[in-house]
Amino acid sequence: MEKQNLFKWKHYQPDIILLTVRWYLRYNLSFRDLVEMMEERGLSMAHTTIMRWVHQYGPELEERVRRHLKSTNDSWRVDETYIKVKGKWMYLYRAVDSDGNIIDFFLSKTRDSKSAKRFLKKALAFSHVSTPRVITVDKNPAYPVAIEELKEGKKIPEGIQIRQVKYLNNIVEQDHRFIKRRAFPMLGFKSFNTATSILSGVEAMHMIKKEQIDLQDQSVQNQKEFIHQLFGLAA
């Protein structure tokens, strides 16, 4: 979408909108926290307004960041964590490479081979993702089944090694912590679609924080300017 379409009919300037979206997705802030912080700047807005911005621009941020990610390596670490949606626990599939770079994520209502297969197919579709040489998983029996089905469908090479070694997956389990820490103040999501849109933005900001974008200077200021450029707001 073009800049004029993205921010058309908005009451506030695009840089203010992106500021609240960035801060919500990156830091442990509530919508009401941001309302107070904006009041200090002389801006009056409802928490529901910021909420709508996050729902709209979070997925857009993730889509645009994807185009600028550095290539991952071919050693995958795959695991899932729990996210509460409408009072029920759902499963957030996540994968990182052996250097800790985020490969992909996928929210699912189920934890089975079908969901694992959908997640792996989704991850393989991105241009910055290297075809895995080895995939390390936990003892979840769904992964070997899903990987074998992908091999049969020629979606991944036959020679890929599957490792079910729990301690090797510490790197992805550690990486879950940022997502869980950010999701905790949200006190659960109200719908599956809301969870998906917000988590996509959270993951995008996490990728930027982890310096997965191709910038010579990875300072916070430059990362902010990078986001502005993505939305056509560069000076």
Q: What does R_g of the chain's alpha carbons equal in angstroms?
A: 19
Q: What is the pLDDT of residue 1?
A: 46
What percent of the chain clears pLDDT 90, i.e. is strictly above it? 74
pTM for the whole structure: 0.90
Strand order in the sheet with 134-137: 102-108, 88-97, 75-85, 134-137, 161-164
CB neighbourhood size of 124 (10 A): 16
Q: What is the pLDDT of residue 234?
A: 67
The rounded distance, in Å, linking the Cα atoms of 211 and 206 is 9
Contacts of range 157-160, beta carbons closer than 8 Å, 24 or more positions apart: 157/131, 160/132, 160/133, 160/134, 160/135
- Asked whether the beta carbons of 61 and 201 are under 8 A apart, the reply is yes
pLDDT tens digits, 107-138:
999 999 999 999 999 999 998 999 999 999 98
Domains and CATH numbers, the chain: 3-68+213-230 (no CATH), 75-181 (3.30.420.10)
